[in-house]
Structure 1
Amino acid sequence: MEKPPSHPAAVLQAIASNLVIEERKTPLPGPGDILVRNHAIAINPVDWKRQAWGVLIPSFPVILGADISGTVVKVGESVTAFKPGDRVLGFADAFATHNHDRAAFQEYTVISATSTALLPENITFKQGATLPTAVATASMALFDVLGLPREAAENSGTSVLIWGGGSSVGSMAIQLARLAGLKVYAAASERQHKRLRGLGSSFLVDYSSPTAAADVISAADRAGDDIAFAVDAISTADSLAPVVGVVSKSTSPKKKIARTLGAWPEGVVLPDGVETQHILGNEFTSRRVDLSVWMCHDVLPKWLERGELVPQEQNVVGGGVGALQRGLDVLKEGAGSEKAVVEL
């Protein structure tokens, strides 16, 4: 596959404006990078929030998006793990680098080889596109912020609470926790329980129930489990209060809550001995390159090929970069447990 001189991109020119399709020069990959011809692009909640509110955008115009899957076109200097023609999924890091060549919402994207994984033949491009941000954020939550071991043998007898398990990050955190040998307690809407039980949750509660936290505590007591670790994939005052309630009952000397977005909300009391830390998924490609390489190169392709890790269900909202605005609108309206994906 030859690199074209230019390609279409969906560009955000101002806050709360619709995406505009423009032609951009197709770049060459630098050292350690690869150029991917995108075949599917997934959309995350942060994308429509950045569009609607201008958050985390230092200047305009800007190209949004982080989740891609496609075919390698060219590899940069020192890249040996990939070659042209490889099917891959990858994390586009323009969110952190502010380099438009490294954004997802376009036909060709430059990504780091360290945050790229081979896509097995049994996984479609649209399935692969659902994974990068979810994998990066859940990995950082479990193995960086909470500091849990990656090997199952080292986690025997350790339990973790995943609040918001039906979300993209929550569902991935459940699966990664299971693969790491952790016992998973999860909170999600009741309609998600069957699916999440299949992904690895040992105990589930309806997070809308006023007794959800108490039910988790009672179940853990009956099983003889101590829940000192939690990932809150929702991270609002309504979700953090019960999460704090569960973790604060732990008798472990080490207690943490991992959360995904935003400052600690006013009105939620953080008990003594309970720690919190913001999960920064983009640090998967910078500060924790070691974690990224282990996940993307060593284990993720194998787990996908063997069916040990399941991609999120997709809501395919259209074809071509021109459909990305529709995808943002669908996600803003509420896409449920499905990931909005645009096929190219």
Structure 2
Amino acid sequence: MTAISAYAPLAPLNEKQHTISFQEIYPEQRSETVFANPNVSDAVIPHLGRSTQQALLLKAAREQYTLVTDHAIPTILNKDEILVKILAVGLNPIDWKGPAFNFGIPSLPWVNGRDLAGIVVKAGTSSRVHEGDIVLVPSTDYRDIRKAAFQEYAIATHFNAARIPSSRNIHASASLGVAFVASALALGVSLGLDFSLVTKCPGPSLTDVVHQLDVNTIPVDIKKECFSAVSDVERVTSGDWIAIWGASTTTGYITLQLAKLAGLRVICVADIARHGARLVELGADVLVDRHDTDRAKEIIRGVTNGKLRYAIDIVGKDTATILEATLDDAVRSDGSHAHLLGLTGLPKERKSSLTYHTVPIKLFHESSQVGEQIVCWLEALLQSDTLQLPEIIRTDGGLGSINASLDLLREGTASGKRIVVDLASS
């Protein structure tokens, strides 16, 4: 299949949509920019004459974040970068686990935060998004402190920003970015699922996009994973069974929806009493309760007649090991194998007859071609109302409320939902 190189733009804005004047921000700019989300007022657009901002700094591992008011507003360094005024921040487990267990922190003090939504306040003429656009940004490039979400302003690359249609809630949209990128790369690159064959709102064939890249531009540590689905006999296709352990997580919800769009049959492992109804609503073919692991393995093997070839674990090494036991470990006559992908860990001891995967998340921000294909498809899915957004718990209080919100996340209060912190009213 050939890669999809372009997507239709968002529908034209109508006269009822809100307009923001940028003349106060940029006196040299004479035109007005149409603001694509009527739910956010002009008041969230401050003067950019200052050089500092509020931010949450992590000053030491195993400590809470500290709110400061004198952190530098990040600077645009190249033509692909845009500046975003952050209006909402979606919280991820890594936001508390990183400091608690001292990982994913390049240096100290540091700014964290992976999911944000906001308004573009600076963009170059060649950018695919424009000043005034409301966008969501999955900040996968965590080593660049300028791109972190726990601050008033953040840098993003235009090919990593997805415009949010006016019909979609900005806070719910702020919660799905990293989860969507992880799901798209897991299914579309690691397992080779061809989204261009989707009937409703088709997407890209990411394996074709990757194969068109200069191999020398792909980071060494993800190169093997990027080309793991090169053989057609190894790629997951419509009609195949796939098991998802951790299906009630945001990544699980998104993975389930993308898999169903592509015609896969999906087994969802989760707390069925709490999340079963939602998973059925999203299209799950089989529900398996996670509390009885022996029974779970038995059900998965029974449903697939012992021939399961594809599985994704979103929880950790222990559950990935359980899921591994449900896979058919026999090499097929065509030389193909069963595949296990772990988002947060894989079994310590591995079988030579199985193929193991991680998500090449770095590909999203390292490759403009891959990044743009993913966000363009996300825009189309949102515009067509094809993708259901995560349920959220919205908290007010701005950056200063994030520590308390992370405590709720750590305690499991938000199980099955995402906590989103509102910055627009702070």
Query: Considering the TM-score relative to the shorter chain, is it more than 0.5?
Result: yes
Flag the 1:61–1:93 CA change in 2: closer, same or farther, 3 A: same
Q: Distance in 1 between matches of 2:49 and 2:347?
A: 48
Q: TM-score when scaled to structure 1? A: 0.90
Indicate conservation of the 8 Å contact 2:140/2:178, yes or no.
no
Structure-2 change in CA distance of 1:124 and 1:332 (3 Å): same
Aligned to 1:279: 359
Q: Distance in 2 between matches of 1:169 and 1:338?
A: 11
1:38 counterpart = 2:86: yes
Shift of 1:94: 4.3
Cα-to-partner distance string for 1:91-134 (whole Å, 9 max, x where unaligned): 22441xx2221111111111111111110112111111111110
**Is this contact kept in 1: 2:187–2:193, CA < 8 A?**
yes
**Whole-Å separation in 1 of the counterparts to 2:386 and 2:179:** 16
Q: Does 1:214 find its partner at 2:290?
A: no
How far apart, CA to CA, are the structure 2 residues paired with 1:318 and 1:51?
23
Which of 317-326 and 276-285 deviates more?
276-285
Compute the RMSD of aligned alpha carbons: 2.0
Asked if the contact 2:329/2:338 (under 8 Å) is kept, the reply is no
Is this contact kept in 2: 1:260–1:280, CA < 8 A?
Answer: no
Pick from 151, 155, 171 the counterpart of residue 126 of structure 1.
171
Distance 1:187 1:93 in 2: 26
| 1:48-105 Cα shifts (integer Å, max 9, x gaps) | 01111221212100000110011111113631x111111110122441xx22211111
- Report what 1:166 is aligned to: 248
Of 248, 263, 266, which aligns to 2:328?
Answer: 248
* Letter matched to residue 213 of structure 1: K
Unaligned stretches of 5+ residues in structure 2? 1-21, 26-47, 199-235
Moved more, 39-48 or 14-23: 14-23
**Aligned counterpart for 2:313 among listed residues 232, 257, 270:** 232
Q: What are the equivalent positions in structure 2 for 1:174-193 lying under 5 Å apart?
A: 174-190=256-272, 191-193=274-276
Query: Which structure 2 residues correspond to residues 254-293 of structure 1 after superposition, within 5 A?
Result: 254-262=337-345, 264-266=346-348, 269-287=349-367, 289-293=368-372
Please state if 1:195 is matched with 2:273: no
Name the SS for the 1:337 alignment partner. coil
SS at match of 1:247: coil
Partner of residue 90, structure 1: 137
Q: Secondary structure at the match of 1:246?
A: coil
- Which of the two has greater helix per residue? 1
Alpha-carbon distance between aligned partners in 2 of 1:74 and 1:213, rounded to the nearest angstrom: 52
| 1:205 aligned partner | 288
Q: Work out whether residues 32 and 77 of structure 1, in 8 Å CA contact, stay in contact via their aligned partners in 2.
A: no
Larger radius of gyration: 2
Match of residue 303, structure 1, among 372, 381, 389 = 381
Bigger Cα displacement from structure 2, 165-174 vs 145-154: 145-154
CA shift at 1:265, angstroms? 4.4
247-256 or 156-165, which deviates more: 247-256
Is the 1:255–1:275 Cα contact (8 Å) retained in structure 2? Answer: yes
- Match of 1:9? 55
Return the letter of the residue paired with 1:172: I
Mark the CA change 1:124 to 1:250 in structure 2 (over 3 Å): closer, same or farther: farther
Name the % identity: 27
The 5-angstrom pairing of residues 97-116 of structure 1 reads 98-116=143-161
Contact 1:152 1:179 in 2 (8 A): no
Q: Secondary structure at the match of 1:106?
A: coil
